[in-house]
Amino acid sequence: MADTKEFFRKYTKYISTFKKTSFDSDNKEYLCYDETQNVIDFDKIIEEKYPDSNIRPKSFDAIYIHNRYVFCVEFKNQKFSQINNKDIQKKLVDGKEELTDIFASLNIPVREYNFIYCVAYKKTLEPLDRYKCGVAKGSIQFGLEQYKTRGFVKDVFTNNVDFFTQQFIKQLNKELEC
């Protein structure tokens, strides 16, 4: 059986950074500036696999793998209240199914990995905006709790990009500049 090193070997041309994968082309700005950590630009893999955008599944922006953890990261350069729940859910479901298929094709045992879905969105004024939106600190947003409860993913983090940076340092003991 293969491991995720095989995934990186096959998809070497998609190695990127959090900075590049967080770029919002509509507004010409980055949500994260970190260039120290290698990630896989998952959107690019899906775009190449499905050139016809009419049949292309949704996907998350980046994949970061650490030991047995696969972090599936979606950056949203929007305020919490502007994010579409169904769109975020579809990115998780479609993206994880595509990634599972890729792992299977490379003979990587999916069950040996813990998938964590992270939605990092634009920082807003705390706690006023959080209060106005009804966002409880540390709670899972966008209807994603069901995917953790059902075991589709090991965990879900939904919060602003600063929280994402703090959790990255806390969970992985690695610096991240977002």
What does the pLDDT read at residue 81? 84
Q: How far apart are CA 112 and CA 122, in angstroms?
A: 32
Decide if pLDDT at 132 tops 50. Answer: no
What does the pLDDT read at residue 85? 93
Report yes or no: 95 and 42 within 8 Å, Cβ to Cβ.
yes
As a whole number, the mean pLDDT across the chain is 87
Extract the runs of DSSP E, i.e. beta strands, from 14-154.
15-17, 23-24, 29-30, 38-41, 62-66, 69-76, 114-121
Cβ within 8 Å of residue 129, ≥6 positions away: 79, 80, 81, 135
pTM for this prediction: 0.88
